[in-house]
Amino acid sequence: MAPLLEARRLAKNYGTLRAVEEVSLSLEPGEILGLLGPNGAGKTTTVSMIAGLLAPDGGEVLLMGRPPSTNGAAKRALGLVPQDLALFDGLTAEANLRLFGALYGLGGPGLDRAVKEGLAFVGLSERASSRVKSFSGGMKRRLNLAAGLLHDPSVLLLDEPTVGVDPQSRNAIFDVLEDLRSRGKAILYTTHYMEEAERLCSRIVIMDHGRVLAEGTAPELASRLPHPTRLVAELRGGGDGEGWIGEVGKLPGFSRVSIEGGRLGATVENLAEGTSALLAFIASRGLELASLETQRPDLETVFLALTGRELRDA
């Protein structure tokens, strides 16, 4: 059976800039797919093409196996929560949702119900009659999310929904998304926050410079790294490594050596060789080893290895 949503080799140029060169992805019901990439990677351009807001220069989007343009019902199955807030500051929360509902063709008791449920779903019922200009960034994001859900779409496209959001609203948004997933909705979650992708998404597509660099679950992506292991040794009497930390960096196969509060970290090419070299070094220096652990690489390490770029909030 065809996936619920499929993007095939999407491409988009802005003048001479190839914003999206080739992006393919697919989405099944009950799945949160992470679209992860740094600022400028081409995420918003990709989402805009999938949402039908931007015509691709190449490739195609299929919704339930068919192009959305020839399939009005399929198009209404899509909900978009854009990166730039699409709210009217001077109107109340409820009036904003009524407006969006009308745009989606809702009216009468159906619209009343959708607006009421939408406000409750994102925890804004008590602020229904407040003007949006009095809202915090997090409340605006939540209202934006409710607006994208009014017509009960089966595919939800979220473009950086937690930028500028306080932790409480962020958790509220995550709860809403997990609820939607458990009800079989398909969610495309665009973010440049590693930990969000790791926490929420069953699969992750990593993109940069308009191309997909890797795809898989977080552990799958991590296991593809050639230098996967990080050693963390807790040392007594080692202080801040003054006088010897540089030597650790020169041990064969060692990189990214760090020390903080007696915790020594190093990425090693080979676990067995790295461990024995480190233990020998610790003994030769007369340091006391309190604990030694190995860490699988996290998504951040994977991202750095793939793109050469840090993915920290810019």
Ligand X SMILES: Nc1ncnc2c1ncn2[C@@H]1O[C@H](COP(=O)(O)OP(=O)(O)O)[C@@H](O)[C@H]1O
Under the rule (CB under 5 A), what is the footprint of Mg ion?
43-44, 83
Q: How far is the CB of 17 from ligand X (least distance, A)?
A: 6
Residue 19 contact among ligand X, Mg ion, none, beta carbon within 5 to 8 Å by kind: ligand X
CB 41, min distance to Mg ion, A: 8
Q: Quick check: 311 binds ligand X (CB under 6 A)?
A: no
CB 74 within 8 A of CB 66: yes
Distances (CA, A) of 130 to 119, 124, 139, 169: 12, 10, 11, 17
CA gap 207, 14 in Å, rounded: 18
- Is 14 a residue that touches ligand X (CB under 6 A)? yes
Among 4, 5, 10, 44, contact with ligand X (rule: CB under 6 A): 44
| Residue (191 or 229) nearer to ligand X, CB | 191
CB of 277 to Mg ion, least distance (A): 44
Q: Which is nearer to Mg ion, 97 or 157 (CB)?
A: 157
Contact status: 43 vs ligand X (CB under 6 A): yes
Distance CA 138, CA 123 (A): 11
State yes or no: residue 17 binds ligand X (CB under 6 A).
yes
Label residue 236 exposed, middle or buried (CB < 10 Å: 0-12, 13-18, 19+): exposed
Tokens of 291: 């604990």
Query: For residue 300, which phi and psi values (nearest 5 degrees)?
Result: -65, -45
Q: Rounded distance, CA 84 to CA 158, Å?
A: 11
Select from Mg ion, ligand X, none the partner in contact with residue 13, using the beta carbon and a kind-dependent cut-off of 5 to 8 Å: none
Task: Give which of Mg ion, ligand X, none residue 14 binds (C-beta under 5 to 8 Å, depending on kind).
Answer: ligand X
Give bridge partners of residue 81 from the DSSP assignment: 158
Task: Kindly state whether residue 45 participates in binding ligand X, applying the rule CB under 6 A.
Answer: yes
Binding residues (CB under 6 A) for ligand X: these are: 14, 17, 19, 37, 39-45
